[in-house]
Structure 1
């Protein structure tokens, strides 16, 4: 599923989350086209297919390559 970029940008702006890169201080973000899925598991075992998944949107700094992930659940999108 592709990300609705205008809706996602509006949600990030509403939260004040579109500032410059924390690493290089430029403001050259690229939003990836697809959602990221973060998997969390107990550290004492290997991840399994049915573990908790957190959907996220990824922003990549076009200057230094730093990647930011934002939870779509927290953003409400």
Structure 2
């Protein structure tokens, strides 16, 4: 007998989740490297840092949209079995 009181389960694709974690970690690593280099006196081109930040934010945003589309699809189907 099926228990209808159990809420549907929604799970983000593991590979997408891992990609988001990797992107977050990559952004944090880049920021730490730049901070360390500035502390050492390296003159970093602000434009390069801003471009990197903007580019990785764009990738993170795109992956977030894909995750959202997957979850919307799962909601339409009533969750995972």
TM range (shorter): under 0.3
More helix by share: 2
Larger Rg: 2
Larger proportion of strand: 1
TM-score (normalised: structure 2) = 0.19
Q: Which has the higher contact order (CA 8 A, sep 6+)?
A: 2
Q: TM-score, normalised by structure 1?
A: 0.19
